[in-house]
């Protein structure tokens, strides 16, 4: 009964929101009147890296870490596993690597710069915070400008802050875990992030504490030619649980923007982390992100990953099953329209016995858009009774669009069960005829088929996000503009 009420509420909320926004990409606006208190010069060199570190008053080890990473970034070639045509077009000299909108971080929306606040109001963040979140962090270009967390969580010892503050306030924990999951040498963009990282979230949940209401981080790019390099580290101590949600949007500019994040999750014994992403960057953003999680004994990690926006997304959330009975899930959707390429996937690496993971990837390509699933399943020698199941479903909306799957399996043990299935379907005349024969218009019928297709994803989202996602899908389906 409860779920039925929920679906009715969902439908009602959806229709309400539908009437408010009828635009195509609703988040393409930007603020002209925000006065940046600091703006690094365009382009990147070691001096700028030092400057960023100095501005942030960082300890010497971090400055050194950054400089070392910068040297690696310069030397490391672009990734070669995917067609790099698009990546080659990124002009690293034409990007702003650091911008400060506000000297101080606010804990009250009243103290946030009026222009910045207006943006977050339009994105509905303060409202969402009051209604259904237990903590919010809002990043504007390079830094987090607003941050708050409910008192009861603080009293339980939960830490939810931005990465810069964490480095100042909790240096031991940061130093212990920072870059231990994703080393700076991992790939060119992880090196870049390590050199110029700014903002992002730091979460620590103490032993046994269950954070039942989600924490949310919101990432907003405002400036033209901006590079955003958030750095997130989440640690769930033994037996704890947490659900972290991130959302992101940017203005539509003719110049490209770069978002290159590094996200590290550490799920200690018996803990659970769910990390939900609704990525809705404007279609001039390169979204090149490295996300990886370690799940120790009996721990569970879930990546719920939605990719709607960006020009090119390259992202394969990874779960390393480090201890016995660790489990994981990657559930993702990707939608690519005209001029978009979503190169997304998942990596499951089993390093212990009796571990399991499922990967479900759903992609929708339309108006010549391209989606790729790129996956890795790796089982080390000696890891017995490992089960990993991958299911990839692609939906093609028209003959111009494209979808590919590139699964890789590296299994060095016999006693394992690794499966992969992939389907590609097209929106067919029979489905459309059936739905229109019931009085539904063709457009509505297409949307219904798409929403049905991604239902396994939407049903995992908190209600408000499911509503938001359905609305975004509707905008995408209506809008002919790529």
Partner 1 sequence: MSEILLKIEGLHVNVGEKEILKGVDLEVRAGEIHALMGPNGSGKSTLSNALMGHPAYTITSGKVSYKGQDITSMPTDEKARLGIFMAFQYPVAIPGVTVTNFLRAITKAKRGVEQPAREFRQEMNDAMKMLNVDPAFAKRYVNDGFSGGEKKRCEMLQMAMLKPELGILDETDSGLDIDALKVVCEGINKVFNPSMGLLIITHYQRMLNYVKPHKVHIFVAGRVAASGGSELVDALEKEGYDKFIKIGV
HEC profile for 370-405? Answer: EEEEEEEEEECCCCCCEEEEEEEEEEECCCCCEEEE
* Strands, E assignment, 46-181: 99-100, 135-140, 143-149, 159-162
Residue 257 CB contacts under 8 Å (≥ 6 apart), including other chains: 95, 221, 224, 225, 226, 227, 228, 250, 281, 282, 284, 285, 286
Among 4, 85, 88, 93, the residue binding partner 1 under the rule CB under 8 A is 4
Among 87, 431, 460, 478, the residue binding partner 1 under the rule CB under 8 A is 431
Residue with Cβ nearer partner 1 (130 or 437): 437
Residue with Cβ nearer partner 1 (168 or 442): 442
Check binding of 157 to partner 1 (CB under 8 A).
Answer: no
Check binding of 436 to partner 1 (CB under 8 A).
Answer: yes
Q: How many residues bind partner 1 (CB under 8 A)?
A: 29
Q: Applying CB under 8 A, which part among 115-123, 159-167, 378-386, 433-441 lies near partner 1? A: 433-441
Among 51, 156, 225, 451, the residue binding partner 1 under the rule CB under 8 A is 451
Q: Applying CB under 8 A, which part among 9-17, 167-175, 192-200, 276-284 lies near partner 1? A: 9-17
Check binding of 7 to partner 1 (CB under 8 A).
Answer: yes
Number of Cβ within 10 Å of residue 44's Cβ equals 23
Among 57, 108, 130, 437, the residue binding partner 1 under the rule CB under 8 A is 437
Check binding of 449 to partner 1 (CB under 8 A).
Answer: yes
- The arrangement of strands across the sheet holding 416-426 comes to 143-149, 135-140, 215-220, 241-249, 272-279, 300-307, 327-336, 356-365, 386-396, 416-426
Count of all residues that appear for the chain in the document: 482
Are 285 and 310 within 8 A, CB to CB? yes
Check binding of 33 to partner 1 (CB under 8 A).
Answer: no
Are 233 and 178 within 8 A, CB to CB? yes
Check binding of 391 to partner 1 (CB under 8 A).
Answer: no
Residue with Cβ nearer partner 1 (78 or 441): 441
Are 280 and 309 within 8 A, CB to CB? yes
Check binding of 440 to partner 1 (CB under 8 A).
Answer: yes
Are 455 and 469 within 8 A, CB to CB? no
What is the DSSP pairing of strand 99-100 with strand 135-140?
Answer: unpaired
Residue with Cβ nearer partner 1 (14 or 402): 14
Check binding of 12 to partner 1 (CB under 8 A).
Answer: yes
Check binding of 434 to partner 1 (CB under 8 A).
Answer: yes
For every residue of 15-47, DSSP letters joined together read HHHHHH---SSTT----S----SEEPPSS--HH
- Among positions 403-422, residues that touch partner 1 (CB under 8 A) are none
Alpha-carbon span 482 to 73, nearest angstrom: 32
Check binding of 20 to partner 1 (CB under 8 A).
Answer: no
Check binding of 456 to partner 1 (CB under 8 A).
Answer: yes
Among 448, 465, 474, 482, the residue binding partner 1 under the rule CB under 8 A is 448
Check binding of 151 to partner 1 (CB under 8 A).
Answer: no
Check binding of 154 to partner 1 (CB under 8 A).
Answer: no
C-alpha count within 13 angstroms, C-beta hemisphere, residue 16: 9
Taking the complex as a whole, how short is the minimal distance between the CB of residue 57 and partner 1, in angstroms? 51
Check binding of 3 to partner 1 (CB under 8 A).
Answer: yes
Alpha-carbon span 453 to 473, nearest angstrom: 12
Taking the complex as a whole, how short is the minimal distance between the CB of residue 455 and partner 1, in angstroms? 3
Contacting positions for partner 1 (CB under 8 A) = 3-4, 7-8, 11-12, 15, 429-431, 433-442, 444, 448-449, 451-456
């Amino acid at each position: 009964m409860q779920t039925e009420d929920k679906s009715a509420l969902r439908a009602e909320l959806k229709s309400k929101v539908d009437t408010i926004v009828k635009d195509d990409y609703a988040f393409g606006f930007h603020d002209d009147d925000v006065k940046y208190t600091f703006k690094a010069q365009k382009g990147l060199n070691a001096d700028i890296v030092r400057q960023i570190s100095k501005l942030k008053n960082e300890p010497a080890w971090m400055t050194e870490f950054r400089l070392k990473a910068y040297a690696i970034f310069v030397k490391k070639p672009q990734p070669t596993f995917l067609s790099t045509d698009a990546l080659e077009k990124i002009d690293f000299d034409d990007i702003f690597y650091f911008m400060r909108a506000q000297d101080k971080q606010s804990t009250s929306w009243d103290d946030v710069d009026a222009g910045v606040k207006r943006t977050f109001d339009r994105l509905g963040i303060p409202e969402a915070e009051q209604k259904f979140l237990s903590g919010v962090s809002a990043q504007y270009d390079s830094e987090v400008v607003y941050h708050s967390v409910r008192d009861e969580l603080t009293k339980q010892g939960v830490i939810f802050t931005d990465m810069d503050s964490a480095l100042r306030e909790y240096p031991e924990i940061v130093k212990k875990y920072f870059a231990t999951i994703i080393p700076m040498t991992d790939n060119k963009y992880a090196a870049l992030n390590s050199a110029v990282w700014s903002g992002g979230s730091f979460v620590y949940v103490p032993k046994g504490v269950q954070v039942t209401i989600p924490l949310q981080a919101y990432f907003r790019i405002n400036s033209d030619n901006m590079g955003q390099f958030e750095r997130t580290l989440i640690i769930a101590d033994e037996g704890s649980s947490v659900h972290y949600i991130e959302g992101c949007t940017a203005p539509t500019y003719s110049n490209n923007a770069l978002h290159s994040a590094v996200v590290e999750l550490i799920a200690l014994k018996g803990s659970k982390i769910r990390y939900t992403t609704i990525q809705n960057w404007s279609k001039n953003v390169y979204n090149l992100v490295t996300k990886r999680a370690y799940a120790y004994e009996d721990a569970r990690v879930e990546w719920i990953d939605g990719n709607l926006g960006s020009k090119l997304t390259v992202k394969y959330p990874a779960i390393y099953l480090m201890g016995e009975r660790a489990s994981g899930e990657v559930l993702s959707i990707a939608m690519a329209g005209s001029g978009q390429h979503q190169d997304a996937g998942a990596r499951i690496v089993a390093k212990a016995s009796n571990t399991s993971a499922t990967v479900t990837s759903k992609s929708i390509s339309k108006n010549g858009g391209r989606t790729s699933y790129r996956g890795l399943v790796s089982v080390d020698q000696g890891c017995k009774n490992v089960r990993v199941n991958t299911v990839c479903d692609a939906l093609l909306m028209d003959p111009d669009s494209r979808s590919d799957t590139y699964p890789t399996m590296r299994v060095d043990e016999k006693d394992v069960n690794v499966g992969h299935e992939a389907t590609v379907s097209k929106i067919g005349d029979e489905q459309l005829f059936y739905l229109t024969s019931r009085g539904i218009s063709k457009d509505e019928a297409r949307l219904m088929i798409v929403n049905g297709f991604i239902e396994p994803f939407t049903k995992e989202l908190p209600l408000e996000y499911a509503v938001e996602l359905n609305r975004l899908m509707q905008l995408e389906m209506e809008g002919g503009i790529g």
